[in-house]
Amino acid sequence: MGNEVENHEEHRAEGVGQHGRSGSEPGNVTTRIRARYGDAAVRGGNAVGCESVIAERDTHLPFMTFLKDDPELSFDYLVDVTAVDRLQLDEEIRFAVVYQLYSYKHNRRFSVSVPVPEADPWIGSVVSVWPGANWLEREVYDMYGIVFEGHPDLRRILMPDDFGSHPLRKDYPLHGKGERDNFVF
């Protein structure tokens, strides 16, 4: 099933005359990562037909830089940064920050997930790698309370500055904690 999807994408890449045939070989990104970091670095595998890995928080900054700068990968476009609160799932570590990447050169997508524990929710900022991460990380900070170390301007982006909570956390009530009824202005 997974192969079918990949073959189809390969076919499509051919059809539109994309350069870099080698870039659309299935499994190529993880092969490349394995060559550089060893087998232990490649955890996760495919998620909904898209290649992905689970990275470690302590080493994720050099890893992301590698994904961008390596000529065989060159993920030059950070599509999105978001997070998952796995409070009700059977996961040891509560949060995961998820990066969606795209390579214009190879017409290829990749996704990186980094677990972040609740007790000390921080992760290194990738603004130095992709400047476009600036507002995306601010949103994740605003919604989940995950602190991005090294971010140049980590303020809330959607909620008012004095909003006390992080509303996309699963233990935050849908109707809020009374903010909508007693806010000051």
Contact footprint for other proteins (CB under 8 A): 158-160, 167, 172-177, 179-181, 183, 185
Strand order in the sheet with 77-85: 44-47, 50-54, 108-116, 95-103, 77-85
Quote the least distance from Cβ 181 to other proteins, whole Å: 8
Whether 29 and 47 have beta carbons less than 8 Å apart is answered as no
Find how far residue 88's CA is from the centre of its chain: 20
Q: Which CB atom, from 22 or from 182, has the smaller least distance to other proteins?
A: 182
What DSSP letter does each residue of 61-118 carry, written as one string? HHHHHHHHH-TTT---EEEEEEEEE-TTTT-SS-EEEEEEEEETTTTEEEEEEEEE-S
Nearest residue (CB) to other proteins, 93 versus 158: 158
Whole-angstrom Cα distance, residue 24 to residue 6? 9
Q: Smallest gap, in angstroms, from Cβ of residue 172 to other proteins?
A: 7
Contact indicator for 53, 81 with CB cutoff of 8 Å: no
* In the complex, least distance from residue 179 CB atom to other proteins, rounded to whole angstroms: 6
State the Cα angle at 51 between 124 and 48, rounded to 5°. 110
User: How many CB atoms neighbour CB 125 within 10 A?
Assistant: 20
Start-to-end CA span in the chain (Å): 56
Closer CB to other proteins, 98 or 159, in the complex: 159
User: For residues 35 and 184, which CB has a smaller minimum distance to other proteins in the complex?
Assistant: 184
